[in-house]
Amino acid sequence: METTLGQVNASSVLFFLVFICITLGITYWAAKRTKTTKEYYAAGRSITGFQNGMALAGDYMSAASFLGIAGMVSLRGYDGMIYATGWLVGWPALMFLIAEPLRNLGKYTFADVVAYRLNQKPIRIAAAVGGILVLLTYAIGQMVGAGNLIKLMFGLPYEVAVLIVGVVMLAYVLFGGMVATTWVQIIKAGLLLGGVTVLMLIGMSHFNFNPGELYGAIQTQYSVSMLNPGGLVTSPLDAISLGLALMLGLLGLPHILMRFYTVPDAKAARKSVMWATTFIGYFYCIIPIVGFTAAALVGQNIIKKIDAGGNMAAPLLAEFVGGTPFMGFIAAVAFATILAVVAGLTLAAASAMSHDLFLNVFRSGKATEAEQVKVAKISTIIFGVTAILLGILFKGQNVAYMVGLTFAIACSGNFPAILLSIIWKKITTQGAVWAIVIGSVSATVFIILSPTVWVEVLKNKEAIFPLRNPAIFSMSLAFLAAIVISLMAPDKEAEAKFEDEQLRTFLGVGAE
């Protein structure tokens, strides 16, 4: 099969330009509705549960999961599917444990929740730094991915691709704030779900819409081992640790948590998670089919020839079943996917810098609306430019570990502090701060010493830390630190405020 992938083709450029025009048009419309902090960070709390569910799905389904899992299934078969299930199971946990309390207790950031009863400044600093660390590692992975993917798909130079993503994303966030970002996420989620559905349906039409026939083709073309679990789960401790990071890491991702403040109340927050789980669950059910179909129709040799990691399996399948125009569409969807995710990250980072650090730390909660919005916009530029520069700096680096690092820090650094501040009366300022610090630092250090970085990136012979996924240890350390430190020096003042907090957590009394 000859492919036009990697050349600038008219259809992909056209689809992409249409997407850019529509989204920039929305940004222009949104800019008029983005004057106050409530509008900039939380879209005026005017987003409905359904819309927010769609936007959450748009925030969460990254190019890594779209192209990456399809590629993994196409080359490694069943093991890719195990990965896909892991990406969904965080959503029910988010619903059961923190979604509604988070909405009731907070205003714009998850730090609002942790700082509710505690000493504002130290908590805000720790939570902002922990949050920004998560967002930055996530952004590096996305930016490097963007550069590489766009180079493969459109033939653009790496730096140009990173720059386009950075500049367009900045335009959304800077002028349109949360309103524009939300609609970009919604459109992207719609395009991604629609595009993948069409891809799957046309692919399956080659197998009379019978999954059995598809698996038969895989088994005859390759071997039955493609349909069986292989080497992904070898060490149970590692597998459990990865599962924990994927599941509970979601509960510590600032850009996801921030979305709960865009809806009017806890009931709408609940609805958002239900819709998000529906869309994301559907997505991860059909992505493996896309991967298998690509393996059967396009063939592993061609997929590997274009990209050794298999990332181009889905666009190649699109070209095979729908010709260059359809491939152009899927490529444009992948581009839009990256843009939307990076926009969400940048807005969350801006809120951490301006709402947590500027307003609540430097100004002790006293600043005018105009000042806050101005600082939020400056923060947006700072984070956006940093992401672009880091994207270029990390060119050619193996950043596969970045996603793992992001989820490990999120579940070890942010999640324990959030959960304990909601459910545990005795948590103290010191306890929460040290949970964030110890969780984030230990997750980072363990990953650097693990086989993924110490051996594969730094080329040492043997890893110092045996697990690829440290979450089980780093998260336990964070919980332990929070509990021991809180019990050593009780804070009666914080305990006394717990009743007010519970009233708000459960009844929504006084929620903003």
Partner 1 sequence: MAKSAKEIVQSERFRDLMRKRWSVSIILTTLLFIIYYGYILLCGYGKEFLGMKVGVYTNYGIILGVLVIVLSWALTGIYVIWANNVYDKEVDAIKKELIK
Binding site for partner 1 (CB under 8 A): 78, 81-82, 84-86, 88-89, 91-93, 95-97, 100, 211-213, 215-216, 218-219, 224, 227-229, 232-234, 236, 239-240, 243, 247, 267, 270-271, 273-274, 277-278, 281, 284-285, 288, 423, 499-500, 502-503, 506-509
CB of 502 to partner 1, least distance (A): 5
Q: Which is nearer to partner 1, 147 or 404 (CB)?
A: 404
Helices (H), 360-428: 369-393, 400-409, 415-423
CB of 138 to partner 1, least distance (A): 23
CB of 88 to partner 1, least distance (A): 5
What's the angle, vertex CA 246, arms to CA 182 and CA 110, rounded to 5? 50
Evaluate whether 180 touches 269 at the Cβ level (below 8 Å). no
Sequence-separated (6 or more) residues with CB below 8 Å from residue 212: none
Evaluate whether 459 touches 453 at the Cβ level (below 8 Å). no
Q: Which is nearer to partner 1, 210 or 398 (CB)?
A: 210
Q: Which is nearer to partner 1, 55 or 273 (CB)?
A: 273
CB of 227 to partner 1, least distance (A): 6
DSSP per residue over 234-281, as a string?
A: -SHHHHHHHHHHHHHHGGG-HHHHHGGGGSSSHHHHHHHHHHHHHHHH
Closest of 151, 206, 192, 203 to residue 319, by C-alpha: 203
Q: Which is nearer to partner 1, 287 or 317 (CB)?
A: 287
Q: Which is nearer to partner 1, 234 or 462 (CB)?
A: 234
Residue type, 192: L
Q: Which is nearer to partner 1, 1 or 507 (CB)?
A: 507
How far apart are alpha carbons 166 and 299 in whole angstroms?
34
Q: Which is nearer to partner 1, 289 or 373 (CB)?
A: 289
CB of 240 to partner 1, least distance (A): 6
Evaluate whether 265 touches 50 at the Cβ level (below 8 Å). no
CB of 372 to partner 1, least distance (A): 29
Helix, strand and coil in the chain, % to nearest 5: 80, 0, 20
CB of 498 to partner 1, least distance (A): 8
